[in-house]
Structure 1
Amino acid sequence: MRDGQRHAPWAADPANSRGRLHEEQREAVRGPRDAFQRDRDRIIHSISFRRLRHKTQVFMAPDGDHFRVRLTHSLEVAQIGRAVARTLGLNEDLTEGLCLAHDIGHPPFGHAGEDALKAALAGQGGFDHNGNTLRALMVIDSPYPRWNGLNLTWETLEGLAKHNGPIAEPAWALAEADAAFPLDLTRWPSLEAQVAAIADDIAYDNHDIDDGLRAGLLTLEQMLEVPVVAAGWEETRRRFPDIAADRLVGELVRSQIGTMVNDLIAETRRRVAMAGVETAGDVRAAGTCLAGFSDEMRDAERSLKRFMYANLYHHPRQLEAARIAGELVAGLYSAYHADPRLMPADWHARLPAEEPARSRHIADFIAGMTDRYAVTRYREVVGPIDLPEGF
């Protein structure tokens, strides 16, 4: 038992952490916190995390106060991840930190902004948001006097690097992080990291339904074409037969999250037992993912994802917004590349002279922007831009 919570023997233990890239002086340790608790707190207090409040989740720079953004999504992922971790006896603080930080590397406008930066850096190694998460936390966001980055533990960096599993061929940003602090990229990460990744799926699978319905891009009738949603709706109506349908959407979403969480817990327990895991090291040595859905739930979840891509993420209104966002990010990159003096003085002062570092530095600046800051800067350095209503 650690900190009053009973941990499984295969849970990550902060007392056995592989440490931090930079050794920290003892007097710099503030308060009675272990290594993973400090990591979580450093993430929450970082500039990178604060900027998530104005970065796209589904809808770009939304006017509506009730739509989710990257910050609220990350908080919801953390709530799900922490609940699962506690039930499985895993380290809640490591799980929570991974959930909170997993989207820090997203540029403005989500995947539309990422595609634009990837194209802009095509000759300089490209761009991917997961590698940029490591770059933001290890290089760019630097609040401490003696080193760059937040100096997070190996376990936190490993879990963020392998958010989607082992990586055989890392792109440049992740390769640089791995060269500085080897992260064992070809093996599966901790169970805490595996749970955090699936908590992300559970959160956006279900909360995007809520936002899509609120925006009028989805209808309940459409959603009932998806078997897992239809089953959840039938159960919800059975429990609340006298309540109007519009009052039950939230209950449907909550019910689906609970169903997925319960399946994840049961299936993960089964896999851990089948693999004969006894230590945290055994998790990485297992050679397979130990946290996951049952086959039935996996197929149901994939069906839901296919529906969401066809009807929400690739909705004509969303595609038009993505086109405009891509042009905006590409225009910013072109303007700064042509005249780096347009960047703020501190960013211009640090501009490398040689490629590819020069182009990557410009992309670092753009990737850190919020949606609204990117729009403001575009109008300053490029020119007017007409944005669709609700953008």
Structure 2
Amino acid sequence: MKRASFAADPARSRGREFPENRDGTRGPRSEFQRDRDRIIHSIAFRRLRSKTQVFIAPDGDHYRTRLTHSLEVAQIGRVIARALGLDEDLTEALCLAHDIGHPPFGHAGEKALSHATLRHGGFDHNAQTLRTLMRLESPYCGHPGLNLTWDLLEGLAKHNGPKPADNWALEELDAEFDLELDRWPSLEAQVAAVADDIAYDNHDIDDGLRAGFLELEQLLALDFVADQWRMVERRFPDAPHDRKLRELIRGQIGIMVNDVIEHTQSQIEGIVALEEIRGAGKNLSGFSSGMAAQERSLKRFMYDNLYYHPEQLATAENARDVVARLYAAYEQEEGLLNQDWHEALPEGEPARSRHIADFIAGMTDRFAIDQYARIYGRRPEGLSNV
């Protein structure tokens, strides 16, 4: 599809924080393709394969992790971007990178790090994504970080809209590479945000059903789901039940994607330039009002029946305790840190505490469990909720 006039253009990118001189040996790629490839090849991205999405330390191989979730978000994002004539590579890169700042055990781990570092500025996974990409993940000889384009970084910083620099990490990075936090991001960033919603709204249902935390009868209390289920039953009356459930999920994703495309097209009618997107004063890509109401109902259902399920909460509390105890151990006995991290440990605060938080935030679930066992002489219990 032809590139829309309001799409982000890699040839007109605002550049990178650190200038790069290339010799032409790395292939004929656009700036946004380079961003995507740097993310895919990063250690931080590979670690997502063993970080919690919903179910902590699952025994089965079929549940989503942060990595598989990010890949699914990228697939949805590319479909929407292509339909709208946007830059697919920038959209994909944003989708792939959006969860890189999550610590082990998902939001339970984030809660523990936030509490542990409260006196030193706290912890925020969105800001940690930027911190990881701009400072911590440093495979290049000439500069810190992955040195991604301004266009990608500003999309990660404010994919949900203008954002104050209300976190120390974001404030520091914005001061060094101005991300214009008070303006709306590109349409590619807006698409990445709604693609994330579509992916986890539906794939968390799939995992919840598989784990037995959700029952179809519960879901059918939602009109949106009930309508789709009746359609599946009419089309495939003799299909096995598990296949019907997967068809239900696929159908819901398709309907949501089509809704976003149609609604966004109506919102951007008459817009011809990217600067009009940034200056629109509102989100231009998202659900229609009707679909937005249904999606909010679905989210409330998921919180009531899955995310806040008693077993989920109990497991999350055990995971939070693991991260809290790891932080306390490293804080009290810095020699427990891995050698490279120990050697780089700052002496003064708040840098020292933030360094420890950086170390823990980069851990996978498995590595955090192994470190806990090494320090405390036993493996933590109650960390599998499926």
Query: Shorter-chain-normalised TM-score: which range?
Result: over 0.9
Out of 372, 378, 381, the position equivalent to 2:372 is: 378
Q: What is the CA distance between 1:235 and its match in structure 2?
A: 1.2
Aligned residues: 385
Q: State yes or no: 1:239 paired with 2:235.
A: yes
Deviation at 1:264, TM superposition (A): 0.2
Whichever residue aligns with residue 305 of structure 1, its letter is K
Deviation for aligned residue 1:164: 2.3
Which runs of 5 or more structure 1 residues have no equivalent in the other structure?
none
From 295, 298, 305, the equivalent of 1:304 is 298
Q: CA deviation at 1:388?
A: 2.6
User: Residue in 1 aligned with 2:111?
Assistant: 115
Identify the match of residue 45 of structure 1 among 36, 41, 46: 41
Q: How far apart, in 1, do the equivalents of 2:97 and 2:266 lie?
A: 28
Contact map agreement 2:315 2:383 (CA 8 A) in 1? no
* Conserved 8 A contact 1:102-1:163: no
Tell whether 2:317 aligns with 1:323. yes
User: In the TM superposition, what whole-angstrom CA distance separates every residue of 1:337-372 from its partner, at most 9, and x where no partner exists?
Assistant: 011111011101111111111100000000000000
| Aligned partners of 2:133 and 2:146 also within 8 Å | yes
Tell whether the 8 Å contact from 2:322 to 2:380 is kept in structure 1 after alignment: no
Do 1:57 and 1:69's aligned partners in 2 also have CA atoms closer than 8 Å?
Answer: yes
CA RMSD in angstroms, aligned pairs only: 1.1
1:258 and 2:242 are equivalent in the alignment = no
TM score, norm. by length of structure 2: 0.98
Give per-residue Cα distances to partners, 1:309-349, cap 9 Å, x unaligned: 00001111110110000000000000000111110111011
2:307: which partner in 1?
A: 313
1:130-149 matches, within 5 Å, as 130-149=126-145
Specify the alignment match of 1:291 in structure 2: 285
Q: Provide the C-alpha distance between the structure 2 equivalents of 1:245 and 1:65, rounded to a whole number of angstroms.
A: 21
Aligned residues of 2:319 and 2:383 also touching (Cα < 8 A): no
DSSP 3-state at the match of 1:202: helix
Contact 2:345–2:355 (CA<8 Å) still a contact in 1? Answer: yes
Q: 1:389 to 1:55 in 2, by over 3 A?
A: closer
Partner of 1:182: 178
Choose which of 187, 190, 195 in structure 2 pairs with 1:194: 190
2:58 is aligned to 62
Name the structure 2 match of 1:18. Answer: 14
1:223 aligns with 2:219: yes
How far apart are 1:301 and its partner, in Å?
0.2
Unaligned runs of 5+ in 2: none
Matched letter for residue 347 of structure 2: A
Name the residue aligned to 2:102. Answer: 106
Partner of 2:329: 335
Shift >4 Å, 4+ stretches: none
